Amino acid sequence: KEKNSPLPMVALDGPYMAPTQSALTKKVLVAVGAGVGITPFLSLMSTIITQLDQDGDLPDSGQEHGKFARLVEVHFYWMTRNADEFLFAKKLISRIMTHRNLLDRVFVHLHVTGKAPEKHASGHVFREALKRQSEVDRVVFKELLKERGLQKMAGPSLPMCWVNGGREDIMWTTTLALPSNKLRVETATSVKERTVCHHTEEVSVELSAECAPGIDASLGMVPSDGDDFYMVPIIFGRPDFATEIRSIGKARPGYNVHLYACANDTVVQGLQDVADVCNQHAEADTQANGTAPQKYILHYERFG
């Protein structure tokens, strides 16, 4: 109460809308969900996939801040301690892997951040086997990348962390990629020239199911044995946001990069630090090289 008034003083604050409500008005998105924080982004992913499936694009309101914007590129980073949680998005991931309207605009990065339990023999053996196999795969990948170039290797299963020089261990799985005949969507098996932006540069990609099986298939980058599915890379370790987010921005000069996070305070603060550094680099590039101005903007879920 104030000044002996019989009525209490009421303070109103807000509203604080969920950050994903504004996501569809952006053109370049990076969504980061940790654990259950992926929930709002699965809904966002479903909305984007459905719209692109049906129309090949998001409807354009004709206004920069309208309900929708022409989506250029979206990256979903999902961090979890247990890989089993990825099964919740099995159908969505499968649709991304098999539909040509999604291949050059919707990217999913699956990261397992949990450590192998101590004094757990089978867990230790698995991680050691994964580490050794990844060492072999990285060597082969570098050789193929040097021989063929990014244009010939680009595809929905390409591990972009390795393109950017990362040394994370990767497990390939077909469990998250349903065959297209079960999804009842158009598969990405016809030959089609597309311009695809893969973090570092724009490339012209030829998508074809007529690739011969072999080491490419073992790395999960082409359909294997004539089947129309891709293996999905699951990355063990935390994302290198400083490198990957800056690479996404450099590949899209002139577009602001909007970071959406639903995670704990440590992840959110880390992303804010990355955005600050990226803004400094972008401003320096504009001053030194005359590149188009660009900003990195963080939006995060408010808890409590």
Give the tens place of pLDDT for each residue, 117-149: 778 888 889 999 999 999 999 998 888 888 888
| Segment 81-123, tens digit of pLDDT | 989 999 989 888 888 877 777 777 888 999 999 887 778 888 8
What does the block give as tokens for 229? 């599915």
For the chain, what percent of residues have pLDDT higher than 90?
32
| Segment 164-190, tens digit of pLDDT | 888 999 998 888 877 655 555 433 333
In the 8-state DSSP scheme, what is residue 178? -
pTM of the model: 0.77
E strand or H helix at 45: helix 39-55
> Which sign does the torsion angle of CA 284, 287, 293, 297 carry?
positive
pLDDT beyond 60 at 218: no
How far is residue 283's CA from residue 288's CA, in Å, rounded to a whole number? Answer: 9
Q: Is 170 exposed, middle or buried (0-12, 13-18, 19+ CB in 10 A)?
A: buried
* Residue 48, pLDDT score: 86
Calculate ∠ Cα 287-275-33, nearest 5°: 150
| Segment 240-284, tens digit of pLDDT | 999 999 999 998 999 999 999 998 889 999 999 999 999 999 999
* Residue 215, pLDDT score: 45
108: which strand partners? 76
Measuring CA to CA, which residue among 147, 157, 237, 141 is closest to residue 198? Answer: 157
How far is residue 252's CA from residue 67's CA, in Å, rounded to a whole number? Answer: 22
| Tokens 């011969």 -> residue | 212
